[in-house]
Amino acid sequence: MTRRLLLLLCLPLLASATPDFEGIMEEFRPSAVLERRKLHRNPELSLREFATQEFLKVRLEKIPGVELIEGDWGTGLVAILHGGKPGPLVAWRTDMDALPVTENTGLAFASTRVDTLSGGRSAGVMHACGHDLHMTIALGMMRALSIVRDEMPGSVMLICQPAEEIGAGALQLLEAGLFEEGRLPKCALALHVHPTIPLGSVGSCPGPSSANVDGFQLTVKGRGGHGAYPHKAIDPVSLAAKMVLSFESIVAREVSVNHPCVISVGRIEGGRKSNVIPDEVVLEATVRSRDEETRKALSEMIERRVMALAEAAGAPEPELLYYFGTAAGYNNPELVDQCREVFRKVLGPERETLYEPAMGGEDFSYYGKRVPGFQFRLGIGRDDREMTLHRADLDPPEEAIGTGIQLACELIWDQLHR
């Protein structure tokens, strides 16, 4: 045991005093970096996080004061660190899954994993959204708080959540009884690394913070034929193109500019040869919105457009499979204000900022429907080059890990004392 940790364990702490989390965190920084690299090298897709689950379980079992909670968590984990004094329960969520992205960072610990997707397609797998950093920070947070648990009023529930990237994990855990049997926290906290925030800074967004994430699969039907005689066929390719342009006019001309929304077609597939008009074309799209009224209206507008365009072309009725996915996120304004006080105290006011609501999705939103919730952005912005989440060359600076551990500890300690 190092001299610093020995002093921290032996010196009595006043109930209102905040431990030296920066100093404690420094003890874990080298091992945390190594853990992050192991996680990064071995990513797993949503609902397949079996090795990741075991990795976290083995390490959490070794932290004094941590109890693993039994439950139908699938590939997730739930653990509680019990404090030595009476107090509330605060929840911290970390996501676990990776993306079907073939890594192109050139890192010595880059992922080379390949997995099979639905439909038999294969793809590389990568932590292209920073979840490897999120898990590393969560482990460091639990270790640091364990050091001072005798003086900690209350308990911390760590939610290791699978399947964030497909918007399924949070609901799965909640429906399995996450907040039941005396485990209802006073609040739920989380972070997400983000390249739009400079390294060493944090960003907050009180109120609405992320979008409803819906979408559809559309099969545009026609009548196949020879490309030289299109008048003898019903061309689903040109019809699909008209529909894509029509979706853009929905956003531009049918929805109020005060209600932000997006319709983006990410997949078009149809035909096998240049001179053969196919029988059908398949489209897949994502639909984003912020409020429930616009969310419902978009589904109705899209259905009306595709049916009308198909009828106008004399084509068979298309098949529209529309789904409502992850709900929009909301950061409790009072909780945000409390956390921003901590940010300014720890980092200084110049490194604490606000950001505008985004059109990205996050199933952390479901925790916020049960208890006050707040997810903030931890800066990983680099000076040497631009980075974007979900991209094959995402390479976050590892210095963010220490900042994340310290902020997580400070926020939880503050909430436990309120």
Q: Is 165 a catalytic residue?
A: yes
β-partners of residue 198 are 381
Shortest CA distance to 139 belongs to which of 20, 55, 45? 55
Count CB atoms within 10 A of the CB of residue 189.
Answer: 24
CA separation, residue 181 to residues 60, 81, 185 (Å): 21, 16, 11
Q: Which residues contact 60 (CB under 8 A, 6 or more apart)?
A: 66, 68, 77, 79, 139, 142, 158
Q: What is the DSSP letter of 66?
A: E
Count CB atoms within 10 A of the CB of residue 166.
Answer: 15
Exactly one of 95, 103, 280, 362 is catalytic; which is it?
A: 95
Classify 152 as helix, strand or coil. coil
Shortest CA distance to 284 belongs to which of 303, 262, 265, 310? 265
The rounded distance, in Å, linking the Cα atoms of 58 and 159 is 15
The rounded distance, in Å, linking the Cα atoms of 101 and 98 is 8
Exactly one of 44, 97, 164, 165 is catalytic; which is it?
A: 165
Residue 102 near residue 391 (C-beta atoms within 8 A): no
Q: Is 54 a catalytic residue?
A: no
Inter-axis angle of helices 292-312 and 236-253, to 10 degrees?
A: 150
Burial class (CB in 10 A: 0-12, 13-18, 19+), 86: exposed
Burial class (CB in 10 A: 0-12, 13-18, 19+), 132: buried
The rounded distance, in Å, linking the Cα atoms of 272 and 279 is 11
Q: Which residues contact 337 (CB under 8 A, 6 or more apart)?
A: 206
Residue 153 near residue 85 (C-beta atoms within 8 A): yes
Q: Which residues contact 392 (CB under 8 A, 6 or more apart)?
A: 101, 102, 103, 104, 105, 126, 128
> Which DSSP string corresponds to 321-370?
EEEEEEPPPEE-HHHHHHHHHHHHHHH-GGGEEE----S---TTHHHHTT
Q: Which residues are catalytic?
A: 95, 165
